[in-house]
Amino acid sequence: MSKTTCSTRSVQSSLLKMKALSLIAIGSLEQAYCPRAFTAPALADS
């Protein structure tokens, strides 16, 4: 019983790590594309 709970916990932690890594990757991608997205409306306003 304890072995199964331990394995499920490790799986959950690995899933959380994957989720965090994907969020970091998405954030870096957004940072890469954000300047263009923010300068476009500014140019349209001026």
| Domain count within the chain | 1
Task: Return the closest-CA partner of residue 38 out of 1, 27, 30, 7.
Answer: 30
What is the spatial distance between Cα 12 and Cα 28, in angstroms, rounded to a whole number?
Answer: 24
Rg over CA atoms, the chain: 20
| pTM flag (> 0.75) | no
Domain carrying residue 1: 1-46
Q: What is the pLDDT of residues 1-39, one digit of tens each?
A: 567 777 888 888 999 999 999 988 888 887 777 666 565
